[in-house]
Structure 1
Amino acid sequence: MKKLFFYLFAGLFMSSILFSCHRDGDDENNNANNAGSSATLTAENYGFDGSHAGKFSSTAAGIVRTSAAGMTIVTISGIRDGGKESINMVLYGDVAANKTYTLGNGSQNGIVIRKDYQNVTDQAMSYSTDNNGTNMTGGGEVKITSVNGNKVEGTFYAVGYNNSGKEAYAEQGKFSGTIN
């Protein structure tokens, strides 16, 4: 059930970024109201299936806090500039400076790294810290390094697996932006 919720929530969030980033019109305020323009997300190294893909950089990322029924969930998501790859984090609990979230190994927190953000139903293209490979366990860490009002910064790394046991990774990750 946790995995289903995680995949659905991450997919819905990425869809909202996609649609908000592709609005038509001449309104100059669209960028100010665009949830996808309030954050950046990078990883110095990332790759899929044993291959190194290079640097992941998203200048149209989003950070969203949702609270309901006494639970707070923070999502941090980005689509690689000029590409289809995405990184989606779901963190349970509110952000605070110097707070560390453990990923995988039974925690509620997780990251999904996708080869194609538009194809969320193909689990072979989705690599999750909840999944495990033959000799390894998916996991990682997100650390909030700074909080100033609604502005947040942090670092992350993750190793995830798809439904076939193939690996994706993101190393030396950073994010910063305004929580919407």
Structure 2
Amino acid sequence: MKKLILNTLAVALLLTTACKKDNNNNEIATGGAATVTASNYGFDGSASLGKFSSTKAGITQVSINGVTTFNVTAIRDGGNESITLVLLKKAAVGKIQFGSQLANGGIIISKDYTKAGDGALNYSTDNNGTTMSGGGEVNFTKVDGNNVEGTFYAVAYNNAKKEAFVEQGSFKGTIK
């Protein structure tokens, strides 16, 4: 989980500090405007905290040396909770599943995005709990140029093997 979080933060830092195209066909882009919602989400075995809604979301797709990474990052309006989708491939219509045995990327659900290094506050689909494995799915329903839409869900665990979940999630926005 720490590796996925650190990689996500490194990509986010790279994207916020650079916006250019170089001579090696490596494309660097800043995040495009997006909205992200989920009908339910929660942490540590609690009942649903209700709806997650973010207008502070961004979508990026970066290709470096032939490797493409697609990211959606959203901070809940009025709070510090965040959801980050990290796909190790280019956006394309279809489903992508996540779990500890799949190398497709993952989903990180955070209680406080300002404390990305705190393993107790950040939950990843790469981690496993006592009786379940973390996992989830992203379904791209529309990819039209730089405009993308999709749905997602996830079950994720922190370093103490406590569970977080997000249900009936959706994203819509422009890749930058």
Tell me the TM-score normalised to structure 2 length. Answer: 0.85
The aligned amino acid for 2:4 is: F
> What SS does the aligned partner of 1:94 have?
coil
User: Quick one: structure 1 residues 14 and 66, their matched pair in 2 at CA, closer, same or farther if it must change by over 3 Å?
Assistant: closer
Question: What do residues 88-146 of structure 1 show as CA deviations (whole Å, max 9, x unaligned)?
Answer: 1110111112x211111322210010000000111000100000000000001001000
Partner of residue 80, structure 1: 76
2:43 is aligned with 1:43: no
Greater helix share, 1 or 2? Answer: 1
Residues 103-122 of structure 1: matches in 2 within 5 Å?
103-108=98-103, 109-122=105-118
Partner of residue 142, structure 1: 138
Residues 23-172 of structure 1: matches in 2 within 5 Å?
35=31, 38-51=33-46, 52-97=48-93, 99-108=94-103, 109-172=105-168
Structure 1: runs of 5 or more not aligned: 20-33
Structure 2: runs of 5 or more not aligned: 18-29
Asked if structure 1 preserves the Cα contact closer than 8 Å seen for 2:57 and 2:75, the reply is yes
Asked if structure 2 preserves the Cα contact closer than 8 Å seen for 1:159 and 1:170, the reply is yes
CA RMSD of aligned residues (A): 2.0
Question: What do residues 59-86 of structure 1 show as CA deviations (whole Å, max 9, x unaligned)?
Answer: 1101100101211000111000000000
Percentage identity across paired residues of the two chains: 52
